[in-house]
Amino acid sequence: MSRSVNVVVVGATGAVGQEMLRVLEQRAFPVGRLRAVASARSAGGTVTFRGESVTLEAPSPEVFEGSQLALFSAGASVSREWGPIAASKGCLVVDNSSAWRMDPDVPLVVPEVNPHRIANPPKGIIANPNCSTIQMLVALKPLHDAAGLLHIVVSTYQAISGKGARAVDEFTQQQAAQHEGREAPVSVLPGVLAGNLLCDWKHDASGYSEEELKMIEESRKIMELPALHVSPTCVRVPVRNAHSESVWARFARPITRDEALSLLRSAEGVVLDDAVGPAKHPQPRAVSGQDPVHVGRVRHDPSDPQALSLWVVGDNLRKGAALNAVQIAERAFATR
């Protein structure tokens, strides 16, 4: 480890903010001083870091002074207001919201995919991509490097934790209501998710959801492939944590299953499960709480020698959010 880094975590009481604190501690990031920021109504409360209580503070310009890193996970409006202020105080801002992802002057980074974009961000801000995009591109990057990615067709099976703690609580209430024969509550989720599937995002006039459009735009930006074809379908499933994805990818040249397995086996951030058979694929129950992206069910497309199908599972709160942000910081400050 190198010099200590003073850190501000904005959104420290949320699910991702709490995960950021755990990841900083677990990975022994060299935090010198930690300041924890939450809403004004939460100020004065505490969070725990390294076994000690840290008092929550409301956002202010002063809270960023003397710090070198600000991790944001408090929503796009907070990031748009306070991210530039934190950067003006000398912090590298790593933002988990959608606020800056498509800004051409803000790098959108997955460290295993485009680490060269971390150094010297023009606005002092680096954006964390959407959770679904992160795990998909970690799996596809080694294959792209070898064969040249042309087209992705992806269907996501996204866990409830991606919508936040209130959604998880409502899902639990829906399960209980169904078991007892009562009407299931619906306020946070757009419908009943217990025993069901939902397309759980706003849609535009094209019929695509916000989540699907994010996967298209972010994949092109991160991979630096503006003409990349991305065809997504995003679905919320009754799983508490860890997203799963069915990915079909077409490449510029033929690629065999054996070649793909060899590439994935040695890829950074990937755990390959090449077992074949019922229930031998990566599963969200097993992957939840783990750092790597798990890839299994690697299949050659029998009708297209240039295409492969993959099953990709990742913890959306860790690699899909908190861990990715901390990994960006580790590279920026050369702590690993």
What predicted TM-score, i.e. pTM, was given to this entire model? 0.95
C-alpha atoms less than 13 angstroms from C-alpha of 147 in its C-beta half-sphere: 23
DSSP 166: H
A 10 A CB-CB count for 304 gives 12
pLDDT one-digit tens code per residue, 305-321? 999 999 999 999 999 99
Q: What are the beta bridge partners of residue 69? A: 7, 92
pLDDT tens track, the chain, 336 positions: 458 999 999 999 999 999 999 999 999 999 999 999 999 899 999 999 999 999 999 999 999 999 999 999 999 999 999 999 999 999 999 999 999 999 999 999 999 999 999 999 999 999 999 999 999 999 999 999 999 999 999 999 999 999 999 999 999 999 999 999 999 999 999 999 999 999 999 999 999 999 999 999 999 999 999 999 999 999 999 999 999 999 999 999 999 999 999 999 999 999 999 999 999 999 999 999 999 999 999 999 999 999 999 999 999 999 999 999 999 999 999 986
Dist. CA 162–CA 139, nearest whole Å: 20
Dist. CA 43–CA 243, nearest whole Å: 32
A 10 A CB-CB count for 270 gives 21
Residue type, 23: V
pLDDT one-digit tens code per residue, 256-308? 999 999 999 999 999 999 999 999 999 999 999 999 999 999 999 999 999 99
Question: Which of 107, 103, 104, 81 is CA-nearest to residue 94?
Answer: 107
pLDDT at 335: 80
Structure tokens at 110: 């997955």
What Rg do the C-alpha atoms of the chain give, in angstroms? Answer: 20
| For the chain, counts of helices (H) and of strands (E) | 8, 13
pLDDT one-digit tens code per residue, 150-177? 999 999 999 999 999 999 999 999 999 9
Dist. CA 144–CA 254, nearest whole Å: 12
Contact 18, 73 (CB under 8 A): no
Contact 251, 143 (CB under 8 A): yes
Dist. CA 326–CA 328, nearest whole Å: 5
pLDDT at 2: 58
Question: Which of 49, 58, 40, 51 is CA-nearest to residue 6?
Answer: 49
Dist. CA 25–CA 289, nearest whole Å: 15
Dist. CA 231–CA 247, nearest whole Å: 10
* Fold classified for 133-315: Dihydrodipicolinate Reductase; domain 2 (3.30.360)
Dist. CA 122–CA 76, nearest whole Å: 19
Question: Which of 323, 327, 329 is CA-nearest to residue 131?
Answer: 323
Question: Which of 312, 231, 298, 236 is CA-nearest to residue 263?
Answer: 298
Q: So which residues are the catalytic ones?
A: 131, 243
Residue type, 84: P
pLDDT at 1: 45
pLDDT at 3: 85
Alpha-carbon separation of residue 259 from 94, 112, 141, 253, 300 (angstroms): 35, 20, 14, 12, 10
C-alpha atoms less than 13 angstroms from C-alpha of 269 in its C-beta half-sphere: 24
- CATH of span 5-129+321-332: 3.40.50.720
- Where do the CATH 3.40.50.720 domains begin and end in the chain? 5-129+321-332
Structure tokens at 229: 């074809």
- Where do the CATH 3.30.360.10 domains begin and end in the chain? 133-315
- Sign, CA dihedral 130-62-59-10, equals positive
